[in-house]
Amino acid sequence: MAPKSGIAVGLNKGHITTVRELKQKPSYRKGALSKRTAFVRNIVREVAGFAPYERRVMELIKNSKDKRAKKLTKRRLGTFVRAKKKIDELSAVIAESRRHH
């Protein structure tokens, strides 16, 4: 952003101020994954396994029916962004299982 000109009109209008370095607020961390949460989710995934729709989606991905898989996950999860994230996650699981065997 261009510096303020001190004039009330124009592109860079506004009072000239010094930019302060603000302290990081805890709220900026919202949504960031903690080590503990990641660990717990990993354990739950190991114990509980995959939901039936997730298994079906993995089967669709294996058979290269990506569009159908995206449609199914979108129906189940509600938004396309969540669906894409889930597909990436399940694709990674499939790739990992291929690497392991």
Burial class of residue 69 in the structure, from the number of CB atoms within 10 Å of its CB (0-12 exposed, 13-18 middle, 19+ buried): buried
- Residues 6 or more apart whose CB falls under 8 angstroms from that of 37 comprise none
95 vs 99: CA distance, rounded Å:
6
Instruction: Read off the amino acid at residue 53.
Output: Y
Residue 78: DSSP 8-state = S
Q: Is there a contact between 93 and 58 (Cβ–Cβ < 8 Å)? A: yes
Structure tokens at 51: 């939901």
Tell me how far CA of residue 18 lies from CA of 3, 13, 72, 90, in angstroms.
10, 15, 52, 49
Residue 65 has pLDDT above 90, yes or no: yes
Q: Is the pLDDT of residue 1 over 80?
A: no
Q: What is the pTM for the complete model shown?
A: 0.69
Q: How confident is the model at residue 35 (pLDDT cuts 50, 70, 90)?
A: very high
Give the pLDDT score at 29.
Answer: 92
Looking at the predicted structure, is the pLDDT value of residue 70 above 80? yes
Q: What is the DSSP letter of 16?
A: -
The residue assigned the tokens 């989606």 is 57
